[in-house]
Structure 1
Amino acid sequence: MSSTDISEIDVSFKLHLPTFSARSESTAKAEKIIKKYGSIVPNVPENIEHIIQKAKEYFSSSNAEKLTEKELRAVAFESLSRDEGDRFFFNLLKAVDEAKSRRVFSALFSSYIMNFNKHDERIAQAAKLLKKHQKTLSKSWVRRLENFDLLAFKTIETSLAKKIMEEGNDHSVFDRAGLTGAFSASRLVQSSLIELANQVAKRIKGGNTDALYDFLKIVCVGDKIKQHAGAAAMIASLKPFIDSSPPVHLKGLLQKVFIGSFSDPRITLNQWPEIPAHLGGTNLRTSCIGLIKKWLNFEAIELFFKVIAEHAPDEQFEPRRNLWKSYFDQEFVVDAHIILGQSAALTAKRLKRTDDAAHGLIWGNLSGANPDQSVLLMQIGDLTVAEWSHNGKFRAWDPDSPKKPRFYRNSYSASELRLGSNKIRNKNGSYGDGIVHLGDWVPRAKAYVNQATGIRLSRKIR
């Protein structure tokens, strides 16, 4: 079945539809097409590979079968989403130029928007050809291009970003530019939002955190980031704080928004957006996600000691707190998860309701132990560490230990947080299954972590 080109449908088409007691089949089809493809995005035929091969033969031999308009349109739309070589693309543009077909120009224009990259020479060539035949496009696009020159490939991202910032609304700007429907997920939309994000990030670096609130109003619907704005949100909202720390209230807001949009990064990373390679790629993505995890780890450690303060205050409280916060402050804590007995969990629930800094907290439930007890499970380097409250021991497991506890489970038994832990030399020279919090236990714990991981704290801990 041939694809349907609705580029000639006026913008106000749906407003002028007559009222039917039962919708006509044609009306339903038109609305379905508008919803699925936007304005002029064509359908890719199932035999596209055959058509591409036919195009290669046609471009390389004067005796080959000529492409039909429908086939040329399909190749034009596919051209910028795949790399068939410079010669193929040059011949395609020549064929498009000679065809003088509005449908073919529209397909190339769609490909230009969907695959936009101002650093791609093919985009520059496509823009030049489309500029030459701009008046051949549909009337609606001719009108839009008079206000938003989408074919000015070097500056269009900046122009759209500036307009969005001025109006505080990306939807209205993209709507007037024609970047709706299928085009709302185009690379032109995404790269324009990333340009906006870069501008916002510069303002934040200059101390203007209010710019971030304005940005979040633009890219969020409720408390969730719009699907096509994920990379831009990371660049504007997280990148500026990789080497600094935002105010507490802003940190809480960012945690809520990003976890609500892309899930808790301690549980899964699959839903977190990718960042384009030229903007930092995997390394920047990892750093941004690591920042959220760092904030969450801090909350976990803070909550552990707040719970201890209410359920097990003793003379070893401050030494424990100082020791493990020092490992966190020097960025040696990779993961941190708290596991709470029944009474301790009730305290955690209350703190989560009343403490703004505890919004993103999760914990596991502890069974087989005193209801007041709690455990702080940490990964320091490659070492898994369990710090027990009350008179529980400091315990550790090597990375290859089959008995090491797994992080971020919903429930744990006390036995699995004790059994199989490493043997550690006691002060008297014998070996035990952990370190008791008595006497000079802090230097021995530090020495053990250093021996097991090579990690050495840079300042003295009392």
Structure 2
Amino acid sequence: MTHTRNAMGRLRAGIALVPRAFVPPPKTPSQRLVEMLQATDLDRRPPTDQAMEALRRRLHAFYTGRDKAPPTRRELRDAAWLLWNGAPQGAEIPGLMAAVVEAASASPRRSRSLIEAWLRDFVPGSATVRAGGGSIRTLLAYGRDPLLDHWRQAQTAFAMFDADAGPARIGAALLTGPQRVEEVLAATGLDDAFRASGGYMRAILRGMLGVMPKVLRGGAAHVGLERAFAVLAPDGELRFGQELRGEVGRGLLAAWLDGGRPPAPTLREPVRDFLLRHLGDPRTRAPMWTPVGEAATALMRQWLARASLAAFFDLIAEHALDHQWRYRQAFWSAYLERGAIEDAWLALGSRVHSSAKTVSDLAGAFGRLEGGGVDSNQSVLLMRIGPLVLCEWSHNGKLRAWPAEWKNAPALYRSSYSRDDLTGKGLPFPSNPATGSRGSDDGSGLAHNGSDRGLWQGSAAELLARRAGFRITPAEWTPR
């Protein structure tokens, strides 16, 4: 018993030393960040579509006097998610938005839900969205919740919740601002995947694309283009892919649709490659380019024709022992610089075809030349100039031309061609007394004779002047 009494005494003494209230250790920054993220996730959990429509009907009935039971706190919390969508929009139901904003003023979580819903359902030019932005600015001005500090700072720096000015200011900061793109997105909360897929981000991108022509004509075009790519396609995926592809194409090409100075290769090639990667080749994926519009698509085709000609010249230099080729290159380059070549497509012999797979500028857009009577090193360049299709062969092949509507005119963009596909009877080539060219009147094509004297060139130039309306001079087609 003595031992038991002594043990009990020691236990009571130990208990007396334990503090009456446990004080937990202070939270680490990481723990606070996790709590903030968890709270944010809760703020962006809208009801299901079915529950949303039921709530819309219920609130519409109350605010129009057909239901006497006032909305509950939970209903007002969830109502933020139907303010700017559906029919009728919650913000169009008299009294509902005021009630939601009043409830949000007493609850930081409801304020955050209101902000998330506004960013998700943002539509430029909407009167109700503009009013909602004004209410959010008031909540931020008078609220004290620390989790709203990020939004207060975004409002101060970018007028983010001004529905008219905010998207434009953020777009300008993304394109031309001193901060890195990643910093601007983080400062506005738009680095978050949920917000980056909403209407507010969509409005920013559309505004950016609207001013891209001005940026690309300016002195900092290269920097602006690099920043635009980082915004438009983070991680290699185009934002709002199918929805905005027309605006992306027009925005990146419109700077050169007014007949002004063409872009330098250092601008043209990145734009071309970006559009090929995200919209595809308009020659083989025409439906993807329908939203871009005819003018911008035609410009892209010309850029691709330039790439095809350049690749053709390079491949010929590698595979064709043709001392006259420099004259052909000079001749067709002159038409290219005039903007006469609307489209071009290559058909390559088997050996050249294998080499072309490594030519990045072609992006895999070329056909195969195969069958009897074709040398593995031979290549064909098909071009569209005005109403004509022209076929230029490497080695000793003749130049041929057809009106595009003729049944035996070769079609561009095919994956394979035989010799018969490319040697059908075509137009005669007229003589050209000014250059001494006799032409070829039997429709079997024009041999490349007298290159150094401009003989075949004069006849081909005369055909293109008469049939396509493009006239160039010997000074333009003579190699330099």
Same-fold status (TM-score > 0.5): yes
Pair 156,216 (structure 1): closer, same or farther in 2 beyond 3 Å: closer
Runs of 5+ unmatched residues, structure 2:
1-28, 432-438
- Is the Cα–Cα contact under 8 Å of residues 461 and 471 in structure 2 kept in the other structure? no
For 2:128, the equivalent position in structure 1 comes to 122
- Is the Cα–Cα contact under 8 Å of residues 124 and 203 in structure 2 kept in the other structure? no
Moved more, 229-238 or 406-415: 229-238
- Deviation at residue 336 of structure 1 after TM alignment: 0.8
Pair 174,392 (structure 1): closer, same or farther in 2 beyond 3 Å: same
Q: Does 1:15 align with 2:34?
A: yes
- Deviation at residue 152 of structure 1 after TM alignment: 1.9
Name the structure, 1 or 2, with higher relative contact order (CA <8 Å, separation 6+).
1
For 1:157, the equivalent position in structure 2 comes to 167
For 1:259, the equivalent position in structure 2 comes to 276
For 2:367, the equivalent position in structure 1 comes to 364
Q: How does 1:134-283 map to 2 (within 5 A)?
A: 134=140, 139=145, 142-149=148-155, 150-161=160-171, 164=174, 166=177, 168-179=179-190, 180-193=192-205, 195=207, 202=214, 204-212=216-224, 215=227, 218-219=230-231, 224=236, 226-228=238-240, 238-242=253-257, 243-268=260-285, 282-283=292-293
- Deviation at residue 445 of structure 1 after TM alignment: 3.6
- Report Cα offsets for 1:292-314 as digits up to 9, x if no partner: 43322112112223333444455
- Report Cα offsets for 1:387-430 as digits up to 9, x if no partner: 222332333444444544443343322222234x5454776996
- Is the Cα–Cα contact under 8 Å of residues 44 and 74 in structure 1 kept in the other structure? no
CA distance in 2, matches of 1:93, 1:171: 40
Runs of 5+ unmatched residues, structure 1:
1-9, 18-26, 275-281
Amino acid at match of 1:173: V
CA distance in 1, matches of 2:78, 2:402: 59
- Deviation at residue 226 of structure 1 after TM alignment: 4.7
**Counterpart secondary structure, 2:346:** strand
- Deviation at residue 67 of structure 1 after TM alignment: 8.9
CA distance in 2, matches of 1:55, 1:404: 67
- Deviation at residue 184 of structure 1 after TM alignment: 0.7
Amino acid at match of 1:407: L
2:394 is matched with which residue: 389, 397, 401?
Answer: 389
- Is the Cα–Cα contact under 8 Å of residues 428 and 440 in structure 2 kept in the other structure? no
Q: How does 1:93-112 map to 2 (within 5 A)?
A: 94-99=95-100, 100-102=102-104, 109-112=115-118
- Is the Cα–Cα contact under 8 Å of residues 385 and 395 in structure 1 kept in the other structure? yes
Moved more, 156-165 or 141-150: 156-165
Amino acid at match of 2:149: R
CA distance in 2, matches of 1:138, 1:67: 28
- Is the Cα–Cα contact under 8 Å of residues 119 and 199 in structure 2 kept in the other structure? yes
- Is the Cα–Cα contact under 8 Å of residues 311 and 362 in structure 2 kept in the other structure? no
For 2:419, the equivalent position in structure 1 comes to 414
- Is the Cα–Cα contact under 8 Å of residues 216 and 225 in structure 2 kept in the other structure? no
Pair 308,177 (structure 1): closer, same or farther in 2 beyond 3 Å: closer
**Counterpart secondary structure, 2:49:** coil
CA distance in 1, matches of 2:93, 2:59: 8
- Report Cα offsets for 1:165-186 as digits up to 9, x if no partner: 5564334433343332321122
For 1:460, the equivalent position in structure 2 comes to 473
Pair member with larger Rg: 2
The count of aligned residue pairs is 417
CA distance in 2, matches of 1:153, 1:44: 27
TM-score, scaled relative to structure 1: 0.70
1:42 is matched with which residue: 43, 46, 50?
Answer: 46
Amino acid at match of 2:170: L
Query: Aligned-pair RMSD on alpha carbons?
Result: 4.6
TM-score, scaled relative to structure 2: 0.68
